[in-house]
Structure 1
Amino acid sequence: MPPIVMPTVAATPRIFELGLPDLALARGGVVRSHRVRGWWWSREGDTPENPAKDVPTVLLVHALTGSAVAGGKDGWWDPLIGPGKALDPAHHRLVCFNNLGSCYGSSGPGVEGFPAMKTVDLTSLDISRAILLALDKLGVGRVHLTTGGSLGGMVTLTLAALAPERFERILPFATSVSASAWVVGWNHVARQILRLDPGYPENVGRGLEIARQLAILTYRAEPGLDARQPRPAPGTDAGYPVQSYLEHQGKKLRNRFAAQAYELQLAAMDHHDLTQPLPGDTKPAISRVRAATLVVDVDTDQLFTPAQAAALAAQLRAAGAKVERETVASIHGHDAFLIEWKTLGPLLTKALHLQAPGP
């Protein structure tokens, strides 16, 4: 019996850029000179310039302030990505794009051809349509698995609604069919904090730091904060660790992100609502999804609750999709999808092997 030869994996992931067709935005405005930055890791010989036809694609969608760099150095899901890990480039082509309207290389505020901030608004439909254009440009038709958390989960669902024939499996993590008043309310307060900054809109500093601190408290949960940021020992004057932790997180975001991009990604979350029909249709957009779906929530998530995950699963089942559901037990709240690596790996493996719908 001849030996089994495993595919050779490219030594490191790579970054690439694509020029895309102009994109009319859902709430007005057109993105011209449209471009997207992407991240790619696959077998040797399978490249963005010449994608192999026999390599299945896993599409990763980042969250609010993420980038296309999903794995490798500084990758937001690096513990899950690489040879021998849950997402193995020997078996799947791993692709991620920087969201439209973000600030890590795709068309966004300050980039030539992007609409002026005073007139532009962004939705999960816009981000999803930009991703579809990017997949078209690469020549990638069907996608084996699409996954993302939070805003990335919203975009994952939206992609499967926009092009149900292209998305075989989805794993929406810590997300919902539409943004609740609770989510929109927190985003509203964050936006007002940004606008109080003396440098708004081009040179926001402290406002972005405080908006991030507010957000961090919604991304985490009380048990996790108590465990990682315990009260100081009695009789010390060291201050409360949670205060320095929040200041650190705020400064980190200020140093790597732009306030105008932050506003647009918040808007994309606010406007996410797949209970409404797509333009020209009459049925709820969520009813278009045909992908085999693994809905995953976190038991301590205060932004996207298990009850919302149950509602999402029910809506997908009512539309005829095959749906499974898992709840992650975590002390860390919403951000468990960026922390609970030992739990996430098996969930991704399960999603990769869901039975896809027929053609």
Structure 2
Amino acid sequence: MTDDPRFGLARHVTLPGPLALDGGGRLSPVEIAYETYGTLDAGGTNAILVCHALTGDQHVASAHPKTGKPGWWTRMVGAGKPIDPARHFIVCANVLGSCLGSSRPASTDPATGRPYGMSFPVITVRDMVRAQAMLLDHLGVAVLEAVVGGSMGGMQALEWAATFHDRVRAAIVIASAARHSAQNIAFHEVGRQAIMADPNWRGGAYYGAGDPPSAGLAVARMAAHITYLSEAGLTEKFGRRLQDRGAKGFGFDADFQVESYLRHQGISFTDRFDANSYLYITRALDYFDLAEEHGGLLANAFRGSATRFCVVSFDTDWLYPTAESRTIVHALNAAGAQVSFVELSSPFGHDAFLLDVPELNQVVDGFIRAGEA
């Protein structure tokens, strides 16, 4: 990777902590892997925090070190893009619990000298955000021009605006929700049970054994991946077409293209993600309920906030449907906050925020530039 800060610097910091956690525990030290792009201006006014989704990472606009694939949001972050290192100091941090360098189940427990495994403390989205705030303090960023994220990243953006409203000038919340629904919790539980049913899981103590619970993790990914797509998109891409054969095999090989696709998604996922991290992050998502954190009324999370909000949904997203975004918008209106809302049309389902939707770039670019005017 180039040392030119405009094009990204991969970094890792160990902060002494302790970080007080919602579950009652304390984490110390706190490791955070992150990337930065661009340069913080003299007034410290141009910082943008990009928050990643469940299986994302800090490599927002640079090649992934394991897969070699381009960064997960190069459509949005980069030269000439809405979030531009020529104009912004961009920070993207690997969330707590994830497996690309931040504190996680595979980290060494200082009390035992061995990997935490399932003794790692259960974390929440708010814990993730508190760790990000510690990182920004370390980087000398007092106030964010904007915090931006899709899916779980959008939840972090909402949490930032609620917990650190005096540090956030603008929040862009894409394809997200203010709490995890019963349906979403149910899908996550199926994935967790698949992992824990894999004999190689060993109660989470599989580090160093050389055979992690890849089969269970692959099934978890397959189940989750279905929720990221739309029925129309699956039908258009695969329909009932067969995979490399002229007739049904009358067995349990991948007869259909969609079966082969899901198997590929599951297997390739195990090359870059850790099963225990998947357990912890899905649990953090399930616990997310911003209204519950603020006395049961979502509007209370935003009262008195001077943050500008942009909320975006997609018409084919059934994981976090438009109704969830409207709930956020209604709460922001009730709190007297500044909010813009748009539902975009896309055939891609929930994953639309990661894919080629030019209208999304226009919305994000316009909203950020409006705050810079």
TM-score clears 0.5: yes
State the SS of the aligned residue for 2:90.
Answer: strand
Counterpart residue type for residue 67 of structure 1: D
Matching residue of 1:59 = 49
Aligned residues of 1:194 and 1:204 also touching (Cα < 8 A): yes
Q: How does 1:206-355 map to 2 (within 5 A)?
A: 206-232=215-241, 236-237=246-247, 239-277=255-293, 284-287=300-303, 289-355=305-371
Matching residue of 2:128 = 127
| Deviation for aligned residue 1:347 | 1.7
Give the counterpart of 1:19 among 2, 14, 19: 14
Aligned residues of 1:298 and 1:334 also touching (Cα < 8 A): yes
Aligned residues of 2:6 and 2:38 also touching (Cα < 8 A): no
Matching residue of 2:89 = 93
Bigger shift: 209-218 or 80-89?
80-89
Counterpart residue type for residue 217 of structure 1: I
Aligned residues of 2:233 and 2:348 also touching (Cα < 8 A): yes
Matching residue of 2:113 = none
Aligned residues of 1:177 and 1:286 also touching (Cα < 8 A): no
Tell me how large the CA RMSD over aligned residues is.
2.3
Q: Encode CA deviations 1:242-296: one digit per residue, 9 max, x unaligned.
A: 11110110011111100110111101111111102359x9984344654110111
Do residues 162 (structure 1) and 163 (structure 2) align?
Answer: yes
Unaligned runs of 5+ in 2: 64-69, 111-115, 207-211, 249-254
> What fraction of aligned residue pairs are identical, expressed as a percent?
32
Q: Distance in 2 between matches of 1:258 and 1:289?
A: 37
1:282 to 1:305, Cα distance in 2 relative to 1, 3 A:
closer
Aligned residues of 2:302 and 2:337 also touching (Cα < 8 A): no
Aligned residues of 2:19 and 2:26 also touching (Cα < 8 A): yes
Counterpart residue type for residue 56 of structure 1: N
Counterpart residue type for residue 102 of structure 2: S
| Deviation for aligned residue 1:193 | 1.2
Q: Distance in 2 between matches of 1:87 and 1:220?
A: 26
Q: How does 1:166-177 map to 2 (within 5 A)?
A: 166-177=167-178
1:283 to 1:86, Cα distance in 2 relative to 1, 3 A:
closer
Counterpart residue type for residue 165 of structure 1: D
Q: Which 4+ residue blocks in structure 1 deviate beyond 6 angstroms?
A: none
Unaligned runs of 5+ in 1: 1-8
| Deviation for aligned residue 1:191 | 1.0
Q: Distance in 1 between matches of 2:214 and 2:158?
A: 33
Counterpart residue type for residue 18 of structure 1: V
| Deviation for aligned residue 1:355 | 4.6
| Deviation for aligned residue 1:320 | 1.5
Q: Encode CA deviations 1:44-77: one digit per residue, 9 max, x unaligned.
A: xx5xxxx743550111000001110111332110
Q: Distance in 2 between matches of 1:289 and 1:185?
A: 33
Aligned residues of 1:80 and 1:341 also touching (Cα < 8 A): no
| Deviation for aligned residue 1:230 | 3.2
Question: How many residue pairs align between the two structures?
Answer: 341
Give the counterpart of 1:102 among 91, 94, 98: 98
Q: Distance in 1 between matches of 2:298 and 2:87?
A: 39
Q: Encode CA deviations 1:212-239: one digit per residue, 9 max, x unaligned.
A: 0000101101111112223326981382
State the SS of the aligned residue for 2:156.
Answer: helix
Counterpart residue type for residue 128 of structure 1: V
1:299 to 1:143, Cα distance in 2 relative to 1, 3 A:
same
Counterpart residue type for residue 313 of structure 2: D
Aligned residues of 2:51 and 2:154 also touching (Cα < 8 A): yes
Q: Distance in 1 between matches of 2:47 and 2:214?
A: 39
Do residues 75 (structure 1) and 71 (structure 2) align?
Answer: yes
Aligned residues of 1:229 and 1:241 also touching (Cα < 8 A): yes
TM value normalised by structure 1: 0.89
| Deviation for aligned residue 1:10 | 3.8
1:288 to 1:134, Cα distance in 2 relative to 1, 3 A:
farther
Q: Distance in 2 between matches of 1:155 and 1:242?
A: 32
| Deviation for aligned residue 1:11 | 5.2
Q: Distance in 2 between matches of 1:248 and 1:213?
A: 9
Q: Encode CA deviations 1:112-140: one digit per residue, 9 max, x unaligned.
A: 24865246211111001000111111110
TM value normalised by structure 2: 0.86
Q: Encode CA deviations 1:184-212: one digit per residue, 9 max, x unaligned.
A: 11111111111111111232110000000
Matching residue of 1:3 = none
Q: Distance in 2 between matches of 1:81 and 1:19?
A: 26
Counterpart residue type for residue 260 of structure 1: N
